[in-house]
Chains A and B, each alone.
Chain A
Amino acid sequence: MFDKILIANRGEIAVRIIRACQELGIRTVAVYSEADAAALYTRLADEAVLIGPASPTASYLRGDQILKVAQQSHCQAIHPGYGFLAENAGFAEAVIAAGLAFIGPDPEAIRLMGSKTSARTAMQTAQVPVIPGYQASQADEDLLAAAGQIGYPVLVKATAGGGGKGMRSVQSPADLPQALASARREARNAFGDDRIYLEKYLENPRHIEFQVFGDQAGQVMHLFERECSIQRRHQKIIEETPSPLLIQNETLREQMGEAAIAAARAINYVNAGTIEFLVDAGHNFYFLEMNTRLQVEHPITELVVGVDLVKWQLRVAAGEPLPCRQADLSQRGHAIECRLYAEDPANEFLPSVGQIIHLVEPVGPGVRIDSGITHGDEVTVHYDPLLAKLITHGEDRQEAIRKMDWALRHYVVLGEVTTNIAFLRDVLGHVAFQRGEITTDFVEHAFSNWQPAEAESSDLALVAAAVADVLDGASRAQAGSEMQGRGATNDDPYSPWGQYHGFRLGQSIGRD
């Protein structure tokens, strides 16, 4: 087993990996940008090294810099997390060439699955069904003709893409040129590669993915499915396992599980991966893409199957075999994950920034939180808006849903930054979700122009604020003063206000 590894990532996944390392007695090195200098994960790691300014291209994407830090701090391996360099075959190769272990699959598998078109070709060879599509040419007139052949609506997708970036849906030939231009631009910015391909747009599909795992001895297994149909603009919001559809169709689960294993075996896959499928209304399943890394939503598999996937990753990368056989695995109970985003659903889901002044996480049986944020953190524009993952596990789906609703009601994040907590509760409470009748179009159709329900009148907020201010004595500063709320009351132990005093050694005092 490794003595020391570097985590080439940030936020909640860095925290997750550090925790698994701590349990295994592995020392950790974190890297951070200037924007993350005070982030939670940097304080949990044994060592933390500054690698650049806030922009990802100057920091978390600087593979050369990161590898150097790993070498200088005597790390034996690098865990790339998800996003950033996790699916960068060149980075994986550089790490291996430098004599370190890359905690993930071989670079060839990353490269093969990283190009969505070569992935499709590999799957067809392995006899895994793929979505009808076109990838033979980048020329606009060829694409226009192919789109007509496939039949509208079609999806323009980035060859180097993933995570919903660089995708545009096209309803008619007239819309294709702008969709191509826009998708190419987004792909160029996100992946440095503006090649695109076309796929048929399946109507009302369900997104069901399978977790796979391979070891260096050639053993490959799957750890069942995750349903990720609650999405908005191709970004996942809520995931669950088992899939409500597969609960009623064990045969389909077996077929998809076998296809997932066939797919992983076909590319000699090692370590954690996920085969994403779309399932249409006729219960036909099609390969969508493979993610050659750990997924954001891995916790729900961990709770239902009873494993620690990050520890499995570390063990397999260190040369150990998978700790059990396929037949030993089963699903118990039901788990749901809600992604907490720094966004404002009432304002077109625009990203939100600001300091987290008051944070209360729900705690209870069957409630798990994988979070990258803590009290006082500044949420900025530079990175993905994922703040935390809230996961519940119950004996059955209804119990998991009830626990999730309870947990969301008790999750407090206060500050200028807004979250999607109220929105998540509404999705959970929707009758279609309750029935498990969900497709990837559900959120956009059922929640367009969403506004939060005003269960309580705003008078309550005024009463609360006024009473708290009176108790705080802030009213004494009221008369003629511009600086409301500042002053001696900061240290008042009887103040009811949650606040952040911003004092950290080595840092300028935060705003009051």
Chain B
Amino acid sequence: MAERIELHYELNGETRTVTVEPDGVQFRVRIGKTIYNVTAQQPKPGQLILDIDARRLRLHVARSGARRYVTLSGQTWRLEQTQPERQRRGTAAGGPAGSGSLAATMPGLVLEVLVAEGDNVKRGDTLVVLEAMKMELRIAAPHDGFVRTIHCEVGQVVERGQVLVGVEEKDEVFR
């Protein structure tokens, strides 16, 4: 392997480019303007020992599909191998997933849907109650408005990031 390899990862919401160039038993790894000289050992699957910047680090690494998990002394990073020109998709994590859409912030079971389409709501009103691992979570209206759409029903199991309710602000002009 004498060629330089370019890899791309999404980490903390950013796409980063990493260039790896084998150099004898070492790798020269470039991230942005920084170059690291690295030697690597793989004692067994899941374990990676890196000599980097005069430190020897014992990391654990795992992957599933495009996901990459790296940990060192309890600090864990989650990355996703990606293409450079791929559009970064919206985060699947919690909170508003788009204008006015409220998504589940954790996977769970819909216990109650307290509103109907067309209802007026005030900021802070509870719209949906989820349950997961015996905990209750209330999805509340982030602002005053009305319920445009309801995408879930009682008894449904939802995933994190799944849109549950659409709340829109009233258009002041068309009162």
Give me the interface of A with B, judged by CB distance under 8 Å: 165, 185-186, 189-190, 342, 347, 350-353, 355, 357-358, 360, 381-385, 408-409, 411-412, 414-416, 418, 421-422, 425, 452-456, 458-471, 474-475, 478, 483-486, 494-500, 511-512
The chain B residue sitting closest to A379, CB to CB, is B133
Mark interface residues in B156-175 (1 if CB within 8 Å of A CB, else 0): 01001000000000000000
Binds A, one of B60-68, B117-125, B146-154: B60-68
Within 8 Å by CB of B52, from A352, A412, A463, lies A463
B residues engaging A (CB < 8 A)?
1, 5-7, 9, 11-12, 16, 18, 20, 22, 27, 29, 31, 34, 36, 38, 40, 42, 45-48, 50, 52, 57, 59-79, 81-82, 93-94, 105-109, 111, 131-137, 157, 160
Check A357–B62 contact: CB distance below 8 A. Answer: yes
- Residue in contact with A498 in the complex, picked from B60, B79, B135, CB distance below 8 Å: B60
CB distance A358 to B134 under 8 Å? no
Question: How far apart are the CA atoms of A262 and B40 in the complex, in Å?
Answer: 63
A-B interface, 9 closest residue pairs, ranked by CB to CB distance from nearest: A498-B46, A358-B62, A461-B77, A498-B62, A414-B62, A496-B42, A414-B69, A466-B18, A484-B66
Contact of A418 among B76, B94, B137 (CB under 8 A): B76
21 contacts between A and B (CB under 8 A): A350-B94, A351-B107, A357-B69, A381-B108, A408-B74, A412-B46, A415-B62, A454-B75, A455-B75, A459-B34, A461-B70, A463-B31, A464-B70, A465-B7, A468-B63, A475-B7, A483-B65, A496-B47, A499-B45, A500-B64, A511-B65
- Return A156 CB to nearest CB of chain B, in Å: 15
Docked pose: A236 CA to B69 CA in angstroms: 28
Q: Min CB distance, A196 to chain B, in Å? A: 16
B167 to chain A, nearest CB (A): 21
- B72: chain A residues at CB < 8 Å are 456, 460
- Do A385 and B133 have beta carbons less than 8 Å apart? yes
Given contacts A494-B42, A496-B61, contact A465 B79 (CB under 8 A): yes
Say whether, besides A353-B107, A458-B12, A465 and B40 are in contact (CB < 8 Å).
no
A485 interface neighbour in B34, B65, B70, Cβ under 8 Å: B65
Distance of B64 from chain A, by nearest CB (Å):
5
Q: Residue on B with the closest CB to A510?
A: B64
Given known A357-B69, A358-B69, contact A463–B46 (CB-CB < 8 A): no
For A466, the closest partner residue in chain B by CB is B18
Q: In the bound complex, how far is the Cα of B70 from the Cα of A413, in angstroms?
A: 10
- Tell me the bound Cα distance from A383 to B77 in angstroms: 26
Is B45 a contact partner of A486 (Cβ separation < 8 A)?
Answer: no
Residues of B within 8 A of A383 (CB): 133
Could you tell me if B63 and A409 are in contact, using CB atoms closer than 8 angstroms? Answer: no
Per the bound structure, the CA–CA distance linking A411 and B73 in Å amounts to 8
Complex alpha-carbon distance, A459 and B18, angstroms: 9
